[in-house]
Amino acid sequence: MKNLKFIILGSVLVLSTASCKKWLDVNTDPDNPNNTSVLIQNRLPWIEHFYMYSSGVANYRTACQAGVYYSVSATQNTLSTTWQCSSGNSTTPYQTWFVAVSSNVTDLYNSAKKQNAYHYMAAADVFHALGFMQMLDIYGEMPYTEAATGNPSPKPDDGKTIYNGCMAKLNEAISLFSQTQPAGVPALSAGDYMNNGDVSKWLKLCWGLKARYMLKLSKKADLYNADSILYCLSQGPQSNADNTVVPGFNNSTTTDYLLGDPVVTNGIFNYAAYGSNQRIAQYYYNLLTNLRGSGVVDPRMSKIMPASMTDVRLDGNGRVTSYKWLRSVGVDSYGPATRLLKGGPNSIALQSYTPTDITKTYTINDPTDLANFIAGQIADERPYTVNGNNVTVTYRAGSIYINSTNYVLAGDTVYVNLRSTAQATAGSIPQPATDVNWYQSIAAYNAGVVGSTGSFQSRPVSDQDILTYHEMCFIKAEVYMRKGDVANAYTAYLAGIQANMDKMQAKLTEWQAEGYTATNPDMAPMNPADIAAYMTSAAVCQNAGTLTMSDIMLQKYIAMGASIENWNDMRRFNFSAGDVGSFGVVYPGYQRGPLFTGTAQLTGSSPTDPRYWMRRWMLPPVYEINYNSINTLALNPHAADPNIWSMPVWWDCATDAEYYGYLQ
């Protein structure tokens, strides 16, 4: 499907919030529908769109916490580097869910119920579960039973109530999707661009979400049920054909009237790759290049790690005649963090482009740094002169460089940012729709010098995963591993890796057919021989008898990438504490780095202390701390405490007593 229904319908849908209902009710003009009169088939695609936006920011920011992304943005840097968690991260996921989605989910359900439009009621139930479970994962407690009811000061609910409510909604959705809608009711396909009205895929989505959510209870001996999860998996996606994704496109310059961002693009793009702040963290990079200490480069690496052009030579017309691709390295904030310690936690500099020769003079007083800097210029075959502690470097026409005389920053071109370009964000650069590269300037574009090729999950034309077969395989592998059935765990582990490879390959093949690879080789398919070699390499466990939980979860981490589920999984295994069951350290190398300053937020004294880690976010201070403080603090008197960031949410506790103890 190559066009979005909600572009056509945009002029007829008015998004509602509970506080606006009275005002909207006075308008009965059919050309200006209100929250009760808007057609259900017009409302659903906007719910799908805005949920993608809400989950996009949640996925991006929790990926910063999980070690997938590094950000120079002062706010997100507190999640990716210093762990001095900032409440500035809290508002957007909350706001986009409650303002743009939640109220519409309620209205869709109510409107569909009046028509016996069972499938639209079921779709509303699914998005209810998706959104409120995401809220639970992030914030722990928030308004739920009184949400979207018109109450300006809704009471919050505890995590157990929210969890059980979401599971009940999925059970109802399964029942509703299993019913036949009466004649005359709009077909689900009239409003569904996510699954194109395929009820069987919606049902598999429901069962798969149940498996995902039941897995969250892995710490709870009284609630975790391996066989129930396996049953849900048997009813969920069985192949990549059953994946539920929200497609992204680059066929419009229309921007969203509520948020101002491109309407048709991938939701993760809107946060991770719209601007120039984000890069891949070294933790993720190391898994793609040295998993299990193998030294094997994952064939997915060049599709995930962006690249820029280097060693560029221009012809007499200022066009590229030769170049090399510089594949990005990861920004190290978990290990020695040598570069960041020299410049500061968010000091990675943005690249610039020069159409003419340009010189920069650097003063370097440290002898070791001076020698290393000169060696770098020699290795890059860049002209330079030395005068005492001053090094003058010539950047040739066509170069991508750092426009600063601070030598610490000069090598930051190796950290290629994730930025990609959509039609709606290109500005004055006349890029065709099939060119989603990022160029530093119109001069760079005219020369053909690419500043970033972007990353697989975060291009405007990337699919945003809602539920995938590879996730189901990895859940199955974990569940069997917990049961002690290593043989079945190993089969599912291999199937999960292969499923993710196949899913990526299918998308890359699609991009190639659509013409994207003419300007971006990173959007071309992987070499099948490289995939086969990887599957038999030391990066992949080759024997069921040596399979570890870490093997399963690290491959799942690679496959999920920018997904909140990585952070959820890390919490279930207490990150790198190594104190969950007999599984050992599941996420080796994930630990506080030398730039850690979050002592007020994360007050645990050791990795085995739950409060050592980032386990939730503070509620948005304006909405729930300032304006709804009486209700908020009545449920959790610690909601405004600085160390709320290290308080486990309900499903992250082994018992109810532990959880409610935190709320005392």
Q: Which two tokens stand for residue 323?
A: 């170049």
462-479 pLDDT, tens digit per residue, is 999 999 999 999 999 999
Is 539's pLDDT higher than 90? yes
Q: Has residue 27 got a pLDDT over 80?
A: no
Structure-block tokens of residue 61: 């920011």
Is residue 8 over pLDDT 50? Answer: no
Closest CA to 329 of 305, 294, 349: 305
What is the distance between the alpha carbons of residues 431 and 418, in angstroms, rounded to a whole number? 18
Q: Which of 3-17, 42-56, 231-245, 399-413 has the lowest mean pLDDT?
A: 3-17
Model pLDDT for residues 388-399, shown as the tens digit of each residue? 999 999 999 999
Evaluate if residue 513 carries a pLDDT over 80: yes
Residue carrying the six token digits 């710490």: 219
Per-residue pLDDT, 15? 36
Angstrom distance (rounded) from CA 629 to CA 623: 9
* Reported confidence tier of residue 10, pLDDT bands at 50, 70, 90: very low
In the structure, what pLDDT confidence band is assigned to residue 31 with cuts at 50, 70 and 90? low
Question: For residue range 361-390, what is the model confidence (pLDDT) as tens digits?
Answer: 999 999 999 999 999 999 999 999 999 999
Lowest mean pLDDT among 21-25, 395-399, 442-446, 630-634: 21-25
- Cα–Cα distance list, 454 to 224, 440, 459, 500, 510 (Å): 40, 13, 6, 19, 17
> What are the tokens at 226?
């391996």
Predicted TM-score of the model (pTM): 0.94
Cβ–Cβ under 8 Å, residues 480 and 255: no
pLDDT, the chain, mean: 93
- The per-residue b/e assignment along 240-255, b for 16 or more CB within 10 angstroms, e otherwise, is bebbbbbbbbbbbeeb
Size (the chain), residues: 664
Q: What integer pLDDT is reported at residue 33 of this predicted model?
A: 63
pLDDT digits (tens, 9 = 90+) for 580-603: 999 999 999 999 999 999 999 999
Supply the pLDDT for residue 251.
93
Q: Which residues of 468-502 are buried (b: 16+ CB within 10 A; e: fewer)?
A: bbbbbbbbbbbbbbbeeebebbbbbbbbbbbbbbe
Residue 421 has pLDDT above 60, yes or no: yes
Q: What is the DSSP code string of 208-254?
A: HHHHHHHHGGGG-TTT--HHHHHHHHHHS--SGGG-EEE----S---
- 23-37, 196-210, 311-325: range with lowest mean pLDDT: 23-37
Question: What DSSP string runs through 554-615?
Answer: HHHHHHH-S-HHHHHHHHHTTTTT--STT---SSTT-S--TT---TTT---SSTTSGGGS--
